[in-house]
Amino acid sequence: MVSDQPLFLDSGNTRLKWGYKDRTGSIEDSSELTALIRQFNISNIVLASVTQKWTPATLSGLFPSILVRSAIVEQGLDGLMLAYKDESSLGVDRWLNMLAAMHHSPTGFKVVVSMGTAMTIDVVDSNRHIGGYIVPGLLTQAKSLHQNASALPMVEFSGGAELGGNTQDCINHGILRSAVALVEATVAPLAGQAMVFVTGGDAGYLSNSLGVEHKVNRNLIFDGLKTYWLAKHRDG
C-alpha cells in the first residue's frame, strides 16, 4: 500500500535527516534515501532545506512519481507573526522549530535553541516572534579556532563547561560555556516564565550544562513540518 503520510526531510548544513511517523534518522546519500522511500512506500515528501544540496528539483529528478513540497516561510501561518520584515530571509528550520514550539506551548514565552552547524536562538511571546540570535555552532567554533590559530588543536567535544587547565579543556569548555551563557542571558529577563526548547545535533552538550529548566526535543523540526503539512492540507 502507498503511504499518504509524507516523508519529512530536513536538509541542514551538515547532514540530511528524515522523519516518518514516529521514526527518525539521518541519510548519507541518495541510495539510502531510495531505500527509505521503498521501505515505507512513500508517495509524498515535505522538505525543509537551508542549503542547495537537496531541493525539490533534485528530489523530483530522482523520484519523478513522488509529490515533493518544500516548506516556505510564511508570515502568519498558524498565527505565528515573525519579527523579520522580509520573512523569506528567515531560515526555514528556525521557523519550523518555532511553529512546533508554539504548537507544544501556545501561550507564554518560548525560547527555541538549535545546536547545529550554527547555533540559533529565537524568542516567541505567545504567537509573536520577538527576534533571535545566530552564532557559530560548537563544532564550527572549534574548527574555526583550529583553522585560524596555529597553536590550537582540533578538539573532540566531551562536555564540561568549568574553567580549563589545559588547551583542550580551555577550548572545549570555553565554547560550551559561551553557548550556555548566551541561552541563560536570553532567558533571564523572561523571569522564569519561558519554556525553553533545545534541539539540533549538539543539543545534548548544551543540555548537560544548562542552568535553566528546558526540554530537549531533537525532532522539533519534524513536529514543525507536520504542523506545516497539516496547515497546507487544511488550506487545500
Known catalytic residues?
Answer: 93
| Residue placing its CB nearer to ligand ATP in the complex, 135 or 188 | 135
CB of 142 to ligand ATP, least distance (A): 9
φ/ψ of residue 50, rounded to 5? -110, 15
Q: Answer yes or no: is 93 a known binding residue.
A: yes
List the single partner that 137 binds among ligand ATP, ligand PAU, none, CB under 5 to 8 Å by kind. ligand ATP
Positions in 24-83 near ligand PAU (CB under 6 A): 50
Give the residue at shortest CB distance from ligand PAU: 91
| Residue placing its CB nearer to ligand ATP in the complex, 26 or 88 | 26
Tell me the CA distances in angstroms from 67 to 12, 36, 61, 101, 234, one per residue in order: 21, 15, 11, 27, 17
List the single partner that 26 binds among ligand PAU, ligand ATP, none, CB under 5 to 8 Å by kind. ligand ATP
Count of C-beta atoms within a 10 Å radius of residue 61: 10
CB of 150 to ligand ATP, least distance (A): 23
Question: 135-164: string of b/e by CB count within 10 Å (b at 16+)?
Answer: eebbbbbbeebeeeeeebeebeeeeebeee
Measured distance CA(211)–CA(183) in Å, rounded: 9
Positions in 95-154 near ligand PAU (CB under 6 A): 116, 118, 120, 134
